[in-house]
Amino acid sequence: MKPGFHLAELNVGRLLAPTDDPRMGEFMTALDRINGLGKRMPGFVWMMEGSGEPGTGNTEAKIDGDPQYVSNLTVWETVETLEAFVWNTVHRQFHARRAEWFEVLGQMHFVLWWVPEGHRPSLEEALARLAHLRAHGPSDHAFGWPWLKEARLWQDHVGARPGLE
């Protein structure tokens, strides 16, 4: 925990098919439920929102103009509260099944960084943090789970592949 700061996270992915493709149905149907659960979790601070249309999550925020390249950007009070949502809720089941809906990108697609309390990062800011992590490796500026000594739950789920989570 860093006094006066919250933990921001960006996770990006490229969908295997357009959002209205039947192969994406289960994922798209679950978005509102999973996002709603996250918003009700202790320690949740903020989430970048899409249009607000049911079943769309934040899939309208395209990256590089690619309609299948989507992102999730949130802010949490602490490492532990983010980990509790990711690994101790139904979110974990969808994370485990991500290969059903997302391409394997072969490079870092997840980044964490500290933001001053009250700050709401833009997608551009978050993508710059991810680019920094890809180019320079983990640092105080941008990092992944292994950088955080207080992060424990991720090790049980992705510890064998820390470079990609």
User: Can you spell out the DSSP letters for 23-35?
Assistant: GGHHHHHHHHHHH
Task: Report the domain count for the chain.
Answer: 1
In terms of residue numbers, what domain contains 155? 5-164
Q: Is the pLDDT of residue 57 over 60?
A: no
pLDDT of residue 163: 41
pTM score of the predicted model: 0.87
Kindly report the CATH number assigned to the domain that includes residue 88: 3.30.70.100
pLDDT digits (tens, 9 = 90+) for 61-85: 678 888 888 889 999 999 999 999 9
pLDDT of residue 53: 57
Give backbone dihedrals phi and psi of 64, rounded to 5 degrees, phi first: 55, 30
pLDDT of residue 67: 83
The residue-averaged pLDDT of 112-138 equals 96
Q: Residue with structure tokens 């996270």? A: 9
Q: Is the pLDDT of residue 160 over 70?
A: no
DSSP class per residue in 34-61 = HHHHHHHSTTEEEE------TT-TTTTS
